[in-house]
A and B are shown apart, each in its own frame.
Chain A
């Protein structure tokens, strides 16, 4: 039953990079939670440590079974995740004006984190079954559109604009990877170009305001605009070598909003400087390359597309989160994988790495 090749094909690189990122994340979080504040939030740090352990367990589970059964279970997983999202509408907990959490005993989970994985799996199944070199026509793209639109709308309702947009970006990346027919591509781009002004016309005044602020934080100098300035000051003031561990001042001033979730990169860049931040960026880069490597080595479409989807998710999150902290992307609440505080994010990310390992170690099984 047990095949020795499972061991020989195990992706030690992926494991190493993941653990490294986790360690860096814990150090940064320690700073964010403890530095300069007279009432250290030690509990945050300990909670995160616990979540890492849960995440590691999830990772192990995710590579123990053969990933190909995901192909068969894709719809079931999808339906369960959507059901959880619907539950959030009815039983969700309000935190800071949005309803994103489900309370399960002592834990609170964020189903929107899991639904991203469900979308990746179901799209992998669809594209791998029907893929062809000519690409997908508009008619064939109807189902993927539906698979994406349902969670998108549910997440927008929460409201969690960042995650909703992420779902679109992941699905979009996977679709482009699976190839769209040239004519369909032109049609869809054209219809988008037409519908955007139309939708804009139907939006209410305050909704327009919100979108404009999202695109240009300077419109809201007391909110998003202020956060961006403070984040840029934090990162910039780190200079080449950084201010040193626990010596960040921007962080201590609680000038940084959400410093242990969305703006954790600013904390880290302030204390570790260009040298340290570059190392973090580099580790992320290597991790993403390893993900693509898994896709490359896999010899069947489902595994390839699955790996590309997961890698796309990680890449977008890294790019958007760090880009936002440095002021090149609008302010969106998206966690930095493996580093930001938050159980659902950590566990779902580790789960994804587990799936990549799974694909990687079973690549010999297809001839």
Chain B
């Protein structure tokens, strides 16, 4: 202790305590004075205010931003919803008021009372919601009898309205009430329970732009709860408007074409990555989510075997089947295993060890070069290419083509697909890779899984000469006052692992798929437009079939998925389309016609320049039959 006393002694500190004492006294004098002012001088005034309980807070909800297509056609807006609520304290005598109200609203008294009782715990000075979105007639009746209905309030609230029922439901998404976990998360800071937030699709990913800012008023009310004076107002700020890259007309066409089947159709501009249409079937009506759907309704949507709630374009994974031959061809050409002239003979099957691998064409394709192999989708050709490339190199090319990882589209729950390698299988199953499996992989079967969107991005990359674009759905974000806040730019995220000569060869193959006599997608020919593409018929893994299925269902589940991926016009690609029809059997018959119609629709829409260019190519096709579905 001695060391302390060397510097200062305690007497010195005592001196300084006087100063502290002075500060404390001042502070307390201030507090006492304020207390005296509030309670004694202004006491009467405040007592009055408290007895009328007259200062209230009223919230005004911000209208959510609107959503448009690329041409400014309205997809989603808000319409006024008249919500009926009651402030129990003002609604005296309550039984009387409720009785009358029940007559106008045509809801039994019992139901109204139970709503009030359920909210008893909150506070009887706060409005209790009785019925949302009452009709205009009811609204009229209540307005007329307003003075007979003390404490009854009608609030106008903007309510989400999806203009085109079922159209682009998966892409646009829907709203729902914020749940407990979301409230806790950082992403939804500043939200309170009862708020509606985007739960899926564009509504979810662009929530922060769409939501706007709530406003409100501080008001003084009289004894019956009517506003006598507005003290303060904070205006609600509407959310920003979002313009998507999709074309509403094309989207509608895609949905119409998919009607009655399960599957997906996606289209994009191959030179920018802008999505033109994204349809997933079956669809659902987003409007039912706005009013809140019952447990049964929700369950029937979720348990539907055709998975209407899933955006099949980005979430569903399928074996790529023959569409994968694009990858195998690139790998073979780039590895120097084949060149344009390399010929294999296809007798209709290929023997590896003691196993026989069949070509889809029983009689075989005879002598096949790579272009013809793509055009006629010869399995035997690609068995041999795949076998020589080897599984791990093949996987390397597949990954380079964008498979096995998400495309980066700004949508929730995008699937990655699967690119199998020897190491992956060993780790997953403990069993070493079998040579035969490489053959299956080479024609897109086995463990391979892709999403339709991945296929679309790959097709676009081939079409544009090798650049992999990130698919985008957002064109611009504009404020309420039409000021551009954000404009999305096309973003190249990679290059195909292929030289331009390789890509040229593949493109020739894809052209022949549609435009030669033996091509697998002759049916996709359109007068005046040259299309290139690739069909696929994906064998279904038997786990889809359950014991309880009826004979008919079992037959449906055994049918392969139908793929078609294409771009057009062949020499100047404006649109790339990928279509999958679940259990559609053949790519050529089920998927190709859909892609064809979409291409036709898009290119004949408002692009006279393209039509001229395409006319030129059409002369080559003269004389051949045009397939009409």
Question: Could you tell me which A residues sit within 8 Å of B by CB distance?
Answer: 37-39, 94, 97, 128-133, 177, 179, 218, 221-222, 225-226, 229-230, 232-240, 249-250, 253-255, 269-270, 273-274, 277-278, 281, 285, 288-289, 292, 295-296, 298-302, 304-305, 308, 311-312, 315, 319, 322-323, 326, 328, 366
Which chain A residue lies CB-closest to B42? A236
Question: Could you tell me which B residues sit within 8 Å of A by CB distance?
Answer: 1, 3-5, 7-8, 10, 12-14, 16-17, 19-21, 24, 27-28, 30-32, 34-36, 38-40, 42-47, 49-51, 53, 55, 57, 59, 120-123, 125-126, 184, 186, 189-190, 215-216, 218, 231-234
B38 near A232 (CB under 8 angstroms)? yes
> Which listed residue, A222, A235, A281, A296, touches B38 by the CB 8 Å rule?
A235
Q: How far is the CB of B619 from the nearest CB of chain A, in Å?
A: 62
Which chain A residue lies CB-closest to B185? A94
B49 near A295 (CB under 8 angstroms)? no
Which chain A residue lies CB-closest to B119? A38
24 interchain pairs, CB-CB under 8 A: A38-B121, A130-B7, A131-B4, A132-B7, A133-B7, A177-B16, A226-B55, A237-B47, A237-B51, A238-B39, A239-B40, A239-B44, A239-B46, A253-B125, A255-B53, A255-B125, A289-B21, A292-B20, A292-B21, A305-B13, A323-B30, A326-B34, A326-B38, A328-B30
Tell me the complex Cα distance, A289–B21, Å.
Answer: 8
B43 near A319 (CB under 8 angstroms)? no
Give every chain B residue within 8 A of A130 (Cβ-Cβ): 7
Which chain A residue lies CB-closest to B27? A319
The residue in A232, A249, A255 that gathers the most chain B C-beta atoms within 10 A of its C-beta is: A255
Give every chain B residue within 8 A of A292 (Cβ-Cβ): 17, 20-21, 24
Give every chain A residue within 8 A of B46 (Cβ-Cβ): 232-233, 235-237, 239
> Which listed residue, A236, A249, A289, A302, touches B39 by the CB 8 Å rule?
A236
The 6 closest A-B pairs by CB, nearest first: A236-B46, A221-B232, A237-B50, A239-B43, A274-B39, A222-B216
Which chain B residue lies CB-closest to A322? B31
> Which listed residue, A133, A229, A296, A312, touches B8 by the CB 8 Å rule?
A133
**Chain A interface SS verdict (over half):** helix
Tell me the complex Cα distance, A253–B89, Å.
Answer: 11
Q: How far is the CB of A362 from the nearest CB of chain B, in Å?
A: 12
> Which listed residue, A129, A229, A232, touches B218 by the CB 8 Å rule?
A229
Give every chain B residue within 8 A of A299 (Cβ-Cβ): 10
B55 near A229 (CB under 8 angstroms)? yes
- Seed contacts A237-B51, A281-B31; 4 additional CB < 8 Å A-B pairs: A38-B121, A97-B190, A295-B13, A304-B10
B39 near A239 (CB under 8 angstroms)? yes
A39 near B121 (CB under 8 angstroms)? yes
Give every chain A residue within 8 A of B47 (Cβ-Cβ): 236-237, 239
Tell me the complex Cα distance, A234–B53, Å.
Answer: 10
Tell me the complex Cα distance, A236–B49, Å.
Answer: 10
> Which listed residue, A226, A234, A249, A300, touches B4 by the CB 8 Å rule?
A300
> Which listed residue, A225, A289, A301, touches B13 by the CB 8 Å rule?
A301
Tell me the complex Cα distance, A230–B232, Å.
Answer: 14
Q: Given A236-B45, A315-B27 in contact, is the A222-B8 Cβ separation under 8 Å? A: no
Q: How far is the CB of A235 from the nearest CB of chain B, in Å?
A: 5
A222 near B49 (CB under 8 angstroms)? no
Give every chain A residue within 8 A of B24 (Cβ-Cβ): 285, 288-289, 292, 315
Q: Given A235-B38, A277-B35 in contact, is the A298-B7 Cβ separation under 8 Å? A: no
